[in-house]
Structure 1
Amino acid sequence: MFKLHRHRSDRLEEKVQFKFSSLQAIKVPRGWDRLMLSIILMESGKVLAKTGKATVRSGNCQWTEAETLWVSQADASQDLEKCQFKIVVSLASSRPAVLGEVILRLADYLGKEDSGLLSFL
């Protein structure tokens, strides 16, 4: 689940709050015992946040902590409406391995009051 909110600071710089919680991965293949999520700003490739490691049990994995990101016009050189994130699910170990990823475009969720669901295969 995630929520987006727009805020203006005293410097008239527009910011967007991106909050996600209650995330889970289902039908995780065998051999993937601990997972983590990374949120990456597509334009710059900058990693904005990483979750803690979560344990896979019976093919399911859930992150209990919530993450909040603030994205300003300075972070995204283009309009915030054109800003995109990549959410990457990967193995939480020293060897890099990506289970899946999803691309999220902020404009699809700006102005919505309710939480939204994301899913990918």
Structure 2
Amino acid sequence: MDLHLDTPFSLDTWDGVADPAPADPDAPPTARVVLAKTYTGDQLTGSATGHALTTNGPRGASYVAQERITGTLAGRTGSFVLEHGASMGEGAPTAQWARVVAGSGTGELTGLQGTGVVAHQLLTLDVVLPD
């Protein structure tokens, strides 16, 4: 079954720990983050925990993250890992992406596939659920 999701979420936890300052004063700072979310869409409800790595400097910013989402998707229960990221900077177009990690689905979500984006507290995802 193919399905398009536009699922809002709340960011419940975003606890960042800055990495040590770089030796090069022009190098952008980096950080590690522990995160938690609650998804409240029509097709996806559940909670997520995960980690992100961030870079945020005067000429660009980027993040990559993985989160395990546990809940109900299109009436099926289970969990899956969503990997997502974004980057922007001087002279480069903004890039955003998200994908279900292959083989990460459990329970009734085993075999789940999908791609999309995470932006502005909304997960937009095109998924394929096995029959």
TM-score where L is the length of structure 1: 0.29
Q: Please tell me whether Structure 1 or Structure 2 has the larger radius of gyration of its CA atoms.
A: 2
Relative to total residues, which structure has the larger strand share, 1 or 2? 2
TM-score where L is the length of structure 2: 0.27
Q: Which has the higher contact order (CA 8 A, sep 6+)?
A: 1
